Amino acid sequence: MKIDKSIIKELSDYLDEFNLTEIEITEKDTKIKVSKNNVSSNNQPVTASVSPAIKNEIVNSESNINSGTEITSPIIGTAYHAPEPGAKKFVEVGKKIKKGDTIMIVEAMKTMNHVPSTADGIVKEICVEDGHPVEFGQTIIILE
């Protein structure tokens, strides 16, 4: 795994700019946490770490990526697995889907956006929980 040092530098700058002691960023399956010790001097050491549990997830997800097709979110918003609460989900693990089938809804600014499948396949993994936020380009489903 290769981590872009400029991201750590940028997060370190945010610590000073906003007078924070800790900041964390999660992108796909990578989680970077930067924190500084509360030392009374101006030369405050900054540390960066990647959680061991996340390292294992990164290794596992890299092997999943090689054996599946990722479908990513086209927009930032809140992901919903069904058209309304209590309704049947669009997809479930093991379900065969075709290109163009709605796999999820991403709500952004009170607009419900249907996300179509970009490929045919069988749903291997649903990577986002119902009602949770998603980022642009975040993997939401993996197909076999």
60: pLDDT strictly greater than 60: no
> In angstroms, rounded to a whole number, what is the distance separating the alpha carbons of residues 66 and 124?
13
Per the DSSP assignment, residues forming a β-bridge with 78 are 107, 133
Whether the model pTM is above 0.75: no
Is residue 3 within 8 Å of residue 27, measured between CB atoms?
Answer: no
* Judgement on whether residues 36 and 23 belong to the same structural domain of the protein: yes
Predicted pLDDT of residue 105? 93
Closest residue by Cα to residue 61 from 92, 32, 31: 31
Counting beta carbons within 10 angstroms of the beta carbon of residue 38, is it exposed (0 to 12), middle (13 to 18) or buried (19 or more)? exposed
122: pLDDT strictly greater than 80: yes
* Judgement on whether residues 45 and 105 belong to the same structural domain of the protein: no
Is residue 134 within 8 Å of residue 128, measured between CB atoms?
Answer: yes
- Of 66, 82, 108, at which residue does a domain stop? 66
* Judgement on whether residues 92 and 61 belong to the same structural domain of the protein: no
The count of structural domains within the chain is: 2
> In angstroms, rounded to a whole number, what is the distance separating the alpha carbons of residues 132 and 107?
10
* Judgement on whether residues 24 and 52 belong to the same structural domain of the protein: yes
In 5-44, where does DSSP find H-type helix?
A: 5-17
Specify the residue for token string 């596992």.
60
Domain assignment of residue 119, given as a range = 69-143
* Judgement on whether residues 74 and 139 belong to the same structural domain of the protein: yes
- The band of 48, judged by pLDDT with boundaries at 50, 70 and 90, is low
Predicted pLDDT of residue 109? 87
